[in-house]
Amino acid sequence: MRNFARRIYIALIIIFLYAPIGTLMVLSFNASKSRAKWGGFTFKWYAELFQNDAILQALWNTLAIALLSSLIATLIGTVACIALQNMKKRNRAIVLGITNIPMLNAEIVTGISLMLLFIVLGIQFGFFTILLAHITFNIPYVILSVMPRMKQLNPSTYEAALDLGASPLQAFFKVTFPDLLPGILSGFLMAFTMSLDDFIITHFTKGPGIDTLSTKIYTEVKKGIKPEMYALSTLIFVTVLILLLLVNKTPKEKKN
Amino acid sequence: MNKKMLSLPYLFWCVAFIIIPLIMVFYYGLTDKTGAFTLENIAAIATPEHSKALWFSLLLSLISTVICLLLAYPLAMILSKMQVNQHSFIVLIFILPMWMNFLLRTIAWQTLLEKSGVINTLLDFLHLPALEIINTPYAIVLGMVYNFLPFMVLPIYNSLTKIDNNVINAARDLGADSFKTFTRIILPLSLPGVISGITMVFVPALTTFVISTLLGGSKILLIGNVIEQEFTVTNNWHLGSGLSIVLMIFIIVNMVLSLVFDKEGEGNAL
Amino acid sequence: MKNVLVNLEHISKSYDGQMILDDLNLYIRENEFLTLLGPSGCGKTTTLRILGGFEQPDTGRVVFEDKDITNLPANKRQLNTVFQKYALFTHMNIAENIAFGLKIKNKSKAYIDDKIKYALKLVNLDGYEKRMPDSLSGGQQQRIAIARAIVNEPKLLLLDEPLGALDLKLRQDMQYELIRLKNELGITFIYVTHDQEEALTMSDTIVVMNQGYIQQIGSPERIYNEPENAFVADFIGESNIIGATMITDRLVEILGARFACVDEGFGENKPVDVVIRPEDVELVKPEEGTISGVVSHIIFKGVHYEMEVQANGFEWLVHSTRMFPVGTSVGIKVDPFNIQIMNKPESEDEEATKLDE
């Protein structure tokens, strides 16, 4: 009985979280342009999606920014973690404190602060400014997922590698790096996801001529969102879902 | 290779893209268009229009935070007790929605909440009164809870799974019933997660302008909407920065509180 | 004979189809120091958790002072547990930790304060009331865990490998401490460990377990000197376990040579196992021994020399204060009292020895 209640509760929360997603999927097959009524089933929007250059361009921008920013953030963040590990405790605490600012601060404040910076520096708003902004808010996610693994690292393994004749660089890449890899990967994925889903910071750091999917949707809100957008997001979501299911299906490494 | 050099790229990045931009906000917030020092932009929060928006934002974000906490704690308890050693699965459930654009997901609530929308059709079928909350503050609260619930669940779940089972057994062993075990052991030990969750929900809820725009109709202005308009519509960066500084005071108070309660940073969510 | 305090009757328990305890029967007397000893996975911790109320047996009854408490929840049982790794409440200071159980029972503040003082004195940590558990060493945390349990005046104290996390010296000190505590408090201790030395040092009664079965119950001396099967002999201390034939009462043939012994009733020409402890093997001149062999290996161990002697195709382990260099021909002699005859393992014991290999 108690177990039953628990299951119901989890199910309700999952319905709550996924109801909008289901709604969007249904809308992507809705022949009517209006969100409010069902006009019959159609694949029309999927076909038109691939004719819609504005949306495809926004998709391209979104993916390019997400990939580039998360890659660069992963690189900087991982190197930063190694450096942090070798720092004095006090300095490390200060740097980690600064690292947390973009995570704890309001996105709107991060957005306008970067906007002001780019204005003062006279950098032209566009792809590059969005990229810089995304790297900035992505780095903390990388550090946050690499740092714990860094702390668990047994320093003796690195020293053992040196003892067995590896150079510091070899020791790092053959011993330390594989240990950090799960943290680095999850940091990268986290950063990629955050970048993909970001609207607020992009909103303040993009120029007039460029759009990501988020900003495109936001400008469309008032005039009505094009159903192609539903089709696109359904495609993205289903792709990710399938990928994740595949990853989960592959034989798992035994933990503990 | 000098290990000290390794920290340089990141330190440079911190200074250039975190610290200097924040100084900019303070600079703009504390000067007028001629560059002279002024407190006017900050004092502007006291105007009826601004203070009403701030007050309203505080109210809605507090309500949302409380609702998130009430929903998330039992959920995290249930999840942490599930036998499956599926930490990744649980994280997945909450991260996966992020792969569908959050603006679209929020807009989808419009469809669900509309007068003749899915929910009302369902309610009608069950002979329950219709829910007319679209374009009201209730819809904004719902949007906040919807968007930020995962940020409450994950840190609480993390802190709950960290509690040694034997600590709970010890409490039982010493005579505590389920209720006392919860109030005296489980709850205090999960407090870091709770505090961290509160921070992570309260700040974005307080400062949002998107959810109010999408679900609140055009009439409801939150402090986030005011600041956003100063930057993108009115182009009064000084006033926008001044109001942001006021907003940051609340954020800083929140951060300090979370630091005091969560000294080891163990509640970090993701 | 003292009264029986707890009775475990026909207890069985399995997880995911794997049998952990199989029809276990055990009684514990008042004021006894009883140790459940065995390798990991032998069911000793599960037995303790069933006593503590953290697990329900699949079948069987737990009877405490003639009352069936099988379904009584942990918080209603008149016993307390000292957990592995202490399980102190890290968000409370030492005094609050110790007071926890008493506050639940709504004892008066004066009573609780008194009890805290008394308990801290008992575990030699007076003045630690305001410290936090994290600031204490492992040994100190262990004492607090004990203090937290005993202030509730349980009739029975369960200890789940409480010394496992401590280093050797501290472990030995704590062993004496526990014996002293038990004598001062006069309560029954049930102690779980995989450390045979710990068990031999502290217990009144040792229960040797393996694979969910009790292998032998007895006093430390009995368990050590008269192991009932090869598993017990092998698990407790070092020993020479040799396949042999019982010729007749008081005469056994080991490796082709006949040894006098004191056991009777095994029948004639019956295959048996014999256990001879290394310190009971006497090395003498070759012609004086029952059998003879050559020293193949020697290590100085401090108190004695540990030697291996090849004799009649068997490698004998010998502890002796006299040194015989490698290559020396020696004779082997064993006092009849020191030859322990055991029946060949039955099926379940066979399993048990297999695990150990």
E strand or H helix that includes residue C329: strand C329-334
Does the beta carbon of B77 lie under 8 angstroms from any beta carbon of chain C? no
Q: In chain C, what percentage of residues exceed pLDDT 90?
A: 70
B171 domain-assigned: yes
**Residue C41 above 50 pLDDT?**
yes
Q: Which neighbouring-strand residues pair with C6?
A: C28, C64
Instruction: Give the other-Cβ count within 10 Å of A48's Cβ.
Output: 14
Q: Which residues contact B166 (CB under 8 A, 6 or more apart)?
A: C83, C84, C85, C87
User: Count of domains in chain B?
Assistant: 1
Between residues B261 and A133, which one has the greater pLDDT?
A133
* Residue B6 DSSP one-character state: G
Nearest alpha carbon to residue C125 among C143, C113, C137: C143
* Amino acid identity, position C13: K
Chain C residue with minimum CA distance to B187: C91
A204 within 8 A of B207, measured Cβ to Cβ: no
Instruction: Please write down the HEC assignment for all residues of B120-179.
Output: HHHHHHCCCCCCCCCCCHHHHHHHHHHHHHHHHHHHHHHHHHCCCHHHHHHHHHCCCCHH
Interface of A with B in 181-200 (CB under 8 A): 190, 193-194, 196-197, 199-200
Chain C residue with minimum CA distance to B189: C91
User: Count of domains in chain C?
Assistant: 2
C131 shares its domain with C210: yes
The span from the CA of B50 to the CA of B53, in Å, is 5
Q: Give the CA count within 13 Å in the CB-facing half-sphere of A9.
A: 16
Out of B173, B184, B185, name the one closest to residue C74 (CB): B173
C183 shares its domain with C244: no
Does the beta carbon of B228 lie under 8 angstroms from any beta carbon of chain A? yes
Query: Do chain C and chain A touch with ≥3 beta carbon pairs under 8 Å?
Result: no
The span from the CA of B106 to the CA of B120, in Å, is 18
- Chain C hits for B191, CB-CB cut-off 8 Å, are 91
A195-204, B76-85, C13-22, C189-198, range with the lowest pLDDT: B76-85
Q: How much is the pLDDT for B262?
A: 60
B237 domain-assigned: no
Chain A residue with minimum CA distance to B2: A83
Structural domain harbouring C344 = 239-356
Interface of C with B in 143-202 (CB under 8 A): 148-149, 152
- Chain C hits for B172, CB-CB cut-off 8 Å, are 53-54, 73-75
Query: Do chain C and chain B touch with ≥3 beta carbon pairs under 8 Å?
Result: yes
Does the beta carbon of B202 lie under 8 angstroms from any beta carbon of chain A? no
Does the beta carbon of A125 lie under 8 angstroms from any beta carbon of chain B? no
| Minimal C-alpha gap between B69 and chain C (Å) | 21
C216 shares its domain with C292: no
Does the beta carbon of B85 lie under 8 angstroms from any beta carbon of chain A? yes
pLDDT band at C354 (very low <50, low <70, confident <90, very high): very low
A39-53, B125-139, C316-330, range with the lowest pLDDT: B125-139
Angle at A106 between CA A103 and CA A112, to 5 degrees: 110
Q: How much is the pLDDT for B35?
A: 86
Could you tell me the two tokens for C241? 């376990």
C138 shares its domain with C243: no
Chain segment B191-205, per-residue pLDDT in tens: 989 998 998 999 999
pLDDT band at C345 (very low <50, low <70, confident <90, very high): low
B23 domain-assigned: no
- Between the two ends of chain C, the Cα-to-Cα distance in Å is 39
Strands C18-29 and C188-193: unpaired
Does the beta carbon of B259 lie under 8 angstroms from any beta carbon of chain A? no
- Chain C hits for B167, CB-CB cut-off 8 Å, are 87-90
Q: Which residues contact C58 (CB under 8 A, 6 or more apart)?
A: C12, C13, C14
Return the CA Rg of chain B.
22
Q: How much is the pLDDT for B30?
A: 94
B151 domain-assigned: yes
Please give the torsion angle defined by the CA atoms of residues C169, C175, C178 and C182, in that order, rounded to the nearest 10 degrees. Answer: -160
The span from the CA of B196 to the CA of B194, in Å, is 5
C232 domain-assigned: no
C151 domain-assigned: yes
User: Neighbours of C (≥3 Cβ pairs closer than 8 A)?
Assistant: B
| Minimal C-alpha gap between B92 and chain A (Å) | 9
B136 domain-assigned: yes
C27 shares its domain with C103: yes
* Alpha-carbon separation of residue B267 from A73, A159, A238, B194 (angstroms): 23, 32, 32, 8
C112 shares its domain with C254: no
Cβ-defined contact of A80 to B237 (cutoff 8 Å): no
**Residue A214 above 70 pLDDT?**
yes
Out of A10, A104, A229, name the one closest to residue B199 (CB): A104
* Residue C10 DSSP one-character state: E
Report for A140-154, B2-16, C104-118: range of highest mean pLDDT: C104-118
Three-state DSSP class for A83? Answer: helix
pLDDT band at C357 (very low <50, low <70, confident <90, very high): very low
Instruction: Give the other-Cβ count within 10 Å of B18's Cβ.
Output: 23
* Amino acid identity, position B138: Y
User: Neighbours of B (≥3 Cβ pairs closer than 8 A)?
Assistant: A, C
C70 domain-assigned: yes
B6 domain-assigned: no
The span from the CA of C55 to the CA of C64, in Å, is 16
pLDDT band at B263 (very low <50, low <70, confident <90, very high): low
The span from the CA of C157 to the CA of C180, in Å, is 14
**Residue C346 above 70 pLDDT?**
no
**Residue C265 above 90 pLDDT?**
no
Does the beta carbon of B173 lie under 8 angstroms from any beta carbon of chain C? yes
E strand or H helix that includes residue C33: strand C33-37
A102 within 8 A of B17, measured Cβ to Cβ: no
Between residues A39 and C187, which one has the greater pLDDT?
C187
**Domain limits of chain A?**
1-49+229-256, 53-225
| Minimal C-alpha gap between B163 and chain C (Å) | 10
**Residue A107 above 90 pLDDT?**
yes
Q: How much is the pLDDT for B83?
A: 62
**Residue B1 above 60 pLDDT?**
no
Does the beta carbon of A227 lie under 8 angstroms from any beta carbon of chain B? no
The span from the CA of C155 to the CA of C189, in Å, is 9
C24 within 8 A of C212, measured Cβ to Cβ: yes
Does the beta carbon of C73 lie under 8 angstroms from any beta carbon of chain B? yes
Three-state DSSP class for C295? Answer: strand
Q: How much is the pLDDT for C347?
A: 46
C43 shares its domain with C144: yes
| Minimal C-alpha gap between B254 and chain C (Å) | 22
Does the beta carbon of C15 lie under 8 angstroms from any beta carbon of chain B? no
**Residue A253 above 60 pLDDT?**
no
Structural domain harbouring B115 = 48-222
Nearest alpha carbon to residue B151 among B112, B184, B110, B194: B194
B261 domain-assigned: no
Chain C residue with minimum CA distance to B168: C87
Q: In chain A, what percentage of residues exceed pLDDT 90?
A: 55
Does the beta carbon of B188 lie under 8 angstroms from any beta carbon of chain C? yes
Sheet holding C188-193, edge to edge: C79-82, C156-160, C188-193, C33-37, C205-210, C213-218
**Residue C353 above 80 pLDDT?**
no
Q: What is the CATH number of the domain that holds B165?
A: 1.10.3720.10
B57 domain-assigned: yes
Q: How much is the pLDDT for B51?
A: 94
**Residue B264 above 70 pLDDT?**
no
| Minimal C-alpha gap between B110 and chain C (Å) | 45
C294 shares its domain with C159: no
Chain segment B8-59, per-residue pLDDT in tens: 889 999 999 999 999 999 999 999 988 889 999 999 999 999 999 999 999 9
Q: Which residues contact A135 (CB under 8 A, 6 or more apart)?
A: A69, A72, A73, A76, B13, B17
Cβ-defined contact of B177 to C75 (cutoff 8 Å): yes
Chain segment A227-251, per-residue pLDDT in tens: 899 999 999 999 988 888 887 766 5
Between residues B110 and B152, which one has the greater pLDDT?
B152
C132 shares its domain with C10: yes
DSSP B38-53: -SHHHHGGGSHHHHHH
C300 shares its domain with C176: no
Q: What is the CATH number of the domain that holds C130?
A: 3.40.50.300
Does the beta carbon of B247 lie under 8 angstroms from any beta carbon of chain A? yes
E strand or H helix that includes residue C82: strand C79-82
The span from the CA of B77 to the CA of B152, in Å, is 12
- Chain A hits for B150, CB-CB cut-off 8 Å, are 17
The span from the CA of A125 to the CA of A207, in Å, is 4
The span from the CA of C307 to the CA of A167, in Å, is 46
Chain segment A61-91, per-residue pLDDT in tens: 999 999 999 999 999 999 999 888 888 888 8
Three-state DSSP class for B265? Answer: coil
pLDDT band at B89 (very low <50, low <70, confident <90, very high): confident
The mean pLDDT of chain A is: 89
pLDDT band at B3 (very low <50, low <70, confident <90, very high): low
Out of B167, B177, B188, name the one closest to residue C87 (CB): B167
Chain B residue with minimum CA distance to A133: B17
Range A131-148 average pLDDT: 94
Chain segment C140-170, per-residue pLDDT in tens: 999 999 999 999 999 999 999 988 878 888 8
The span from the CA of B235 to the CA of B238, in Å, is 9
The span from the CA of B30 to the CA of B25, in Å, is 8
- Chain B hits for A36, CB-CB cut-off 8 Å, are 111, 114, 116-117
Question: Residue C201 burial (CB < 10 Å; 0-12/13-18/19+)?
Answer: middle
Does the beta carbon of A155 lie under 8 angstroms from any beta carbon of chain B? no
C233 domain-assigned: no
Per CATH, is A53-225 categorized as 3.90.1150.10? Answer: no
Out of A87, A108, A240, name the one closest to residue B224 (CB): A108
Q: How much is the pLDDT for A132?
A: 96
Chain B residue with minimum CA distance to A115: B21
Cβ-defined contact of B97 to A214 (cutoff 8 Å): no
Does the beta carbon of B69 lie under 8 angstroms from any beta carbon of chain A? no
Does the beta carbon of C45 lie under 8 angstroms from any beta carbon of chain B? no
**Residue A142 above 90 pLDDT?**
yes
Range B65-82 average pLDDT: 92
Does the beta carbon of A45 lie under 8 angstroms from any beta carbon of chain B? no
